[in-house]
Amino acid sequence: MSKKVLDSYLKAKEQYLEHDIDTEEVLKTLDTVSLSIHCWQADDVTGFESVQAGLDSSGLQVTGNYPGKSRNIDELRMDLNKAFSLIPGDHRLSLHASYGDFNMGFPGRDKISPDQFESWVEWAKTKNINIDFNSTFFAHPNVKNGYTLASKENEIRSYWIEHGKRCREISAFIGKELGSRCIHNIWIPDGSKDITPSRYEHRSLLKDSLDKMCDEKIPADQMTDSVEAKLFGIGSEAFVVGSHEFYMGYAIENNMMLTLDIGHFHPTESVADKVSSAFLFVDELLLHVTRGIRWDSDHIVTFNDQLTELMQEIVWTGKLDKVNLGLDFFDATVNRIGAYAIGARNTQKALLLALLMPTNKMIEYENMGKYFERLALFEEFKTKPLGAVWDYYCLSKNVPVGEKYIAEIQKYEKEILSKRI
C-alpha cells in the first residue's frame, strides 16, 4: 500500500515540478495550517448545560437523529480524539461556552468562569491541542423574542453583556494557559421574522452592547475577539441585526478580527471575493468553513467551487498566515465522526489544490494580456494529480490514506457509537 502511494506521489511531484511547483515546499506550508475543529458536530450543538439546569437546548436548527451522538463530556472528548486521529496535521479545538465542564454544577451563563474550563485546558495539554472559544448566545430563556445583545430590554442586554465578558475572561485564561492565542468568536442570533421599523435602534443597541462587553483590554497574545455576521436565519428572515455591513464596520473601527461564515451570504454571493477587500481593512480573518445549501448554511463541507475558490483567494492574496480556518457545520443524519473527517479533510485538500496552482505563470500570462492561456492553465490544473500528493501527505502524517478512513469510522461506530442507547 504505502509503496503505491509513494510511487504515485513521486510521479505527481515530477509533473508539478515541470511547472516549477515544489510539492515538498507546498506540503510544508500545508502542514503549518491548523484547523479549528468545532466541538458541536459531535452532539448536534447540544452542549452540557441542559442536564444540569434544565435549559432548552434548541436554538440552531439541527436535523436528523442518527444514533451515536455524544452525551457527555467524556464521550465528546473520546469522539474528538477519534476525529483528530483521522485528520492529518496539528489542529485546534473550537469550544462553545455551553460545553464547559459542569460536573460540579452549572452556575449560569452570566457566572461561568475559567473554573469550568480547567479540565478542558488539562485535556488539551495532554493532547497538545490549542483551543479557540465561542460565547453562546442561543438556546437559552434569556434570548428574549429573538434578541440578546441587541434587545430593547436593558436587563436582557446586561445579562448577555455579562456572558460575553465571562467568555472573554475564559478565552484569555485558555490562551494564557496553553501559550497560544485563543480566538473568541462572537455570533448572536438577534433578528426578526418580519418587518421592523427598529433596525437602526437594534443596531445601535448592538454596537453599544459590544462596546461594553469588549471594554476590557486583554493582551493580544492571550485572546482576540472576532465578530460573525449573517444574512438571515430561521425565524430571523426579515432582519438580522449583525449583518455583514454592521460587523465589517465594527471590526474596522475596533481593530477586531472578522469572521466570514461561507454559509451566511446570498447563495450566489462569492465569499472568496470578500477576502481581498477585507484584508485591506482588517488584519486577520476567521473563516467558518461550511456549506450553504439554499436557505440553510451548515452542511458538511464538500470539495466544491465555494471552497476551492475561497482557498485560492487566500493563497493569491498572500495572507494564508492571517487566515484562521474554523469548521462550522452540523449534520445529525450521518455518522458524526464521519462528518468531521469529510469536512476537515476537504478543507485541507482544497487548500492543497490552491497551493498547487501555477499562480506565477498565470500572473505572467495575465501581464502579457494572454487571457486564454491564463484560463487554460487554470483549468488544466484542476485535474492534475492532487490526490496523489494528498495521499502522500496523509501517509506521512500517519492518518488513513484516501477512503481508508471509512473503515476506521465503521469500526468506531460498531465498537463505541452503536452502544450509546
Active site residues: 187, 228, 230, 261, 264, 288, 296, 298, 328
SS3 content of the chain, % helix, strand, coil (to 5): 50, 15, 40
d(CA 95, CA 18): 43
Select 134 or 151, whichever has its Cβ closest to ligand RNT.
134
Residue 331, binding choice from Zn ion, ligand RNT, none, Cβ under 5 to 8 Å by partner class: none
Select 173 or 187, whichever has its Cβ closest to Zn ion.
187
Here the cell at position 34 is 491548523
Select 328 or 391, whichever has its Cβ closest to ligand RNT.
328
Which residues would be at the binding site for ligand RNT (CB under 6 A)? 40, 45, 60, 134, 187, 228, 230, 261, 288, 297, 328
Residue nearest ligand RNT, CB atom distance: 187
Residue 190, binding choice from Zn ion, ligand RNT, none, Cβ under 5 to 8 Å by partner class: none
d(CA 23, CA 9): 9
Select 189 or 385, whichever has its Cβ closest to Zn ion.
189
d(CA 152, CA 161): 13
Here the cell at position 4 is 503505491
Least distance to ligand RNT, CB of residue 261, Å: 5
Least distance to ligand RNT, CB of residue 75, Å: 19
Q: Which amino acid is at 239?
A: F
Environment class of 270 (CB within 10 Å of its CB; exposed 0-12, middle 13-18, buried 19+): middle
Q: Strand 323-327 and strand 35-38: pairing?
A: parallel
DSSP-assigned beta bridge partners for residue 261: 288
Select 27 or 167, whichever has its Cβ closest to ligand RNT.
167
Least distance to Zn ion, CB of residue 261, Å: 4
Which residues would be at the binding site for Zn ion (CB under 5 A)? 261, 288, 328
Here the cell at position 111 is 457566572
Least distance to ligand RNT, CB of residue 297, Å: 6
242, 229 Cβ separation under 8 angstroms: yes
Residue 226, binding choice from ligand RNT, Zn ion, none, Cβ under 5 to 8 Å by partner class: none
Residue 230, binding choice from Zn ion, ligand RNT, none, Cβ under 5 to 8 Å by partner class: ligand RNT
Residue 45, binding choice from ligand RNT, Zn ion, none, Cβ under 5 to 8 Å by partner class: ligand RNT
Cβ-based neighbour number of residue 276 at 10 Å: 14
d(CA 135, CA 146): 17
Least distance to ligand RNT, CB of residue 323, Å: 16
Q: Where are the alpha helices (H) located in 112-236, listed in sequence order?
A: 118-127, 154-178, 199-213
